[in-house]
């Protein structure tokens, strides 16, 4: 085999490798995703804003339930704060609404992967998810902690993969940003938010467990079955 043949084989291998890379879409914050064998995943927006990354993704396929032939979702990775709230507020109205041939509506989904951030923005994002009736998801390999877990609770439907994690901890005082977790009298807003999304019993229990952890590095951690047991997920 001469040098010319070796060169052709080398570049053919590179081309095949490149094609293989484009046949799979990986969700932000994890190696989980989908192959493009049943349709095409297109990234309509991939925004990097300080410590946040957010993507608007569209799946186009003849197998889609939507009469439009495509389905939109968001992927969020990074710090929950003013940037994430502002980005979500702008992007949620842009997601195409999926309606099938019978007029049935399917919720758009948001995938969350974050170590947390500001409590106020966790509330704000969660309320936006509730307003637009979004399905919130923490998929395999992702962790949604602190204010991310707060935002997750705003989903109309909430689901987790078996190897995903949610982490809740008490709000803590940090340069005046959050409340003092040693003072139960200041957690009324958190209690109301939990109960509004989970109901009285499950909300009360989550508040009690949340307030047991006053730390930004540890907390009450749940996998999919644990979250289901305490009414945190809906499936």
Each residue's pLDDT tens digit, 122-158 = 999 999 999 999 999 999 999 999 999 999 999 999 9
> For position 212, what pLDDT does the model report?
85
**In a domain? residue 168:** yes
In a domain, residue 186? The reply is yes
196: which residues sit within 8 A by CB, 6+ positions away?
A: 203
Residue 7 lies in a domain: yes
Query: For position 153, which CATH number holds?
Result: 3.90.226.10
Residue 234 maps to a domain: no
Is the residue at 129 inside a domain? yes
Per-residue pLDDT band at 36 (split at 50, 70, 90)? confident
Task: Evaluate whether residue 21 is within a structural domain.
Answer: yes
How many folded domains does the chain comprise?
1
Whole-Å CA distances, 170 to 72, 119, 147, 164, 201: 34, 10, 10, 21, 18
Query: For 74-109, how does the pLDDT look when each residue is reduced to its tens digit (9 = 90+)?
Result: 999 999 999 999 999 999 999 999 999 999 999 999
Residue 108 lies in a domain: yes
Host domain of residue 131: 3-229
């Amino acid at each position: 085999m001469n040098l010319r043949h070796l060169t052709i084989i080398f570049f053919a291998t590179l081309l095949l490798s490149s094609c293989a890379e484009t046949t799979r879409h990986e969700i932000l914050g994890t190696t989980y995703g989908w192959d493009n064998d049943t349709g095409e995943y297109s990234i309509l927006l991939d925004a990097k804003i300080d410590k946040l990354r957010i993507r608007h993704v569209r799946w186009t396929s003849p197998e889609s339930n939507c009469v439009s032939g495509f389905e939109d979702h968001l992927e969020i990775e990074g710090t929950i704060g003013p940037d994430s709230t502002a980005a979500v507020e702008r992007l949620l109205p842009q997601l195409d609404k999926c309606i099938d041939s019978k007029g049935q509506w399917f919720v758009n989904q948001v995938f969350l992967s974050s170590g947390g951030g500001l409590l106020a923005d966790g509330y704000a994002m969660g309320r936006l998810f509730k307003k637009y009736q979004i399905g919130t998801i923490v998929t395999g390999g992702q962790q949604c902690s602190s204010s991310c877990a707060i935002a997750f609770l705003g989903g109309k439907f909430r689901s987790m993969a078996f190897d995903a994690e949610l982490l809740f901890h008490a709000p803590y005082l940090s340069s005046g940003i959050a409340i003092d977790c040693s003072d139960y009298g200041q957690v009324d807003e958190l209690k109301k938010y939990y109960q509004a999304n989970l109901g009285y019993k499950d909300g009360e229990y989550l508040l009690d467990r949340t307030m047991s952890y006053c730390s930004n590095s540890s907390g009450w951690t749940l996998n999919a079955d644990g979250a289901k047991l305490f009414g945190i997920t809906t499936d």
